[in-house]
Homo-oligomer: A and B are copies of this chain.
Amino acid sequence: MSDSTTQKYAIGIDLGGTSTKFGIVDKDGNIIEQDRIPTSSEKPINYFIDELYAKLQPMIDKAGGKEVFIGIGMGAPNGNVYTGNIEYAANLHWKGIVPIAHLVTEKFGIRCSLTNDANAAAMGEMMYGAAKGMKHFITITLGTGVGSGIVIDGKMVVGYDGFAGELGHTIVRHNGRLHKLTGSRGCLEVYASATGVRETAIEFLESNPSTLSLLRNYKEEELTSETVYECAQKGDEIAKNVFDFTGQILGEALANFVMFSSPQAIILFGGLTKSGSFLMNPTKEAMEKNLYQVFKNKVQLVFSNLKESDAAILGASALVL
């Protein structure tokens, strides 16, 4: 019954550590309708699928029923494009292997394809964002964690087993800060995420007890990357040092990524990019400083111009569109 003329929509789902955003997308990349639910991964996966269904099914009905849908594309942490499973995701409570594409397909009666959440966002950037027309780029999500999507020759790099592009887990400081969820030490994610900026602020306040700082007006639980940004804007030295330190580590890591795949651009997105030049300037400086001669002053380092949730929903929908 259904064919390419009646199938005019896709569903894009961005399953994140905290919330899951989803939307109905047409063939031109317009998000017709969107919503979100908490990811609630502390409850069984079927509970989550039921919640998603309760919100999405009315949207599907309104659009004309499942017959008008080409498919469901989903991005999720550790989502494996080959198997359709979420496998050992550190930021989710569901343990081990979760056959989420299969479960969604069964529940909705619409075929679901899965990929890594950061890869979905990179596809969104390539189709509709800062990487439009580019064939070699890397996207780095600076959010609660650090994710990444790598495009080489116009194709997502998924690697031998589908898990390529876990750059947030690369080690940037030998024996450095502990990652409480993975047990590793000194990975990029513990420094260059919103969580990392908060931790750095706490460390800097503790190790400089006699230095005045606006950050001391906050209780420890109130310190976030946003409050650090606000204090930096007011000229606070410790707050600015926090971003200098974060940018130094991020830039060094980006230099290493450039020397791997020689991209035309690196696109940063996620909550931490709201810190603007406080983060961008030291990052760019450290990246250039650590690049081998042949790469210097060639790579564009830019913030994404897509709304974060849009990039991920659009990218996920592009899996099936």
Contacts and interface: CB of A to CB of B under 8 A. Distances in A.
Interface of A: 78, 87-88, 90, 135-136, 150, 152-153, 155, 157-167, 169-174, 182, 184, 252, 255-257, 259-264, 290, 292-295, 298
Q: Which 9 A-B pairs have the closest CB atoms?
A: A159-B262, A164-B262, A136-B160, A169-B292, A160-B264, A170-B256, A166-B259, A88-B293, A163-B294
B152 A298 contact: no
Given A135-B160, A152-B157, A167-B260, 5 more contacts: A87-B294, A150-B261, A159-B263, A171-B252, A261-B261
Contacts of A255: 170-171
Given A135-B160, A136-B160, A259 B169 contact: yes
A252 B174 contact: yes
A166 B239 CA distance: 35
Given A292-B184, A294-B78, A294-B88, A159 B171 contact: no
A134 to B, nearest CB: 8
Contact of A262 (B161, B172, B292): B161
Contacts of A90: 292-293
Contacts of A290: 171, 184
A266 to B, nearest CB: 11
A25 to B, nearest CB: 27
Contacts of A150: 260-261
7 contacts: A78-B294, A136-B159, A153-B155, A157-B261, A166-B292, A171-B255, A171-B256
Most B-side CB within 10 Å, residue of A161, A260, A290, A294: A260
A98 to B, nearest CB: 13
B170 A262 contact: no
B184 A262 contact: no
Nearest to A289: B184
Contacts of A298: 161
A78 B161 CA distance: 30
Contacts of A157: 152, 260-262
A153 B157 CA distance: 9
A157 B151 CA distance: 11
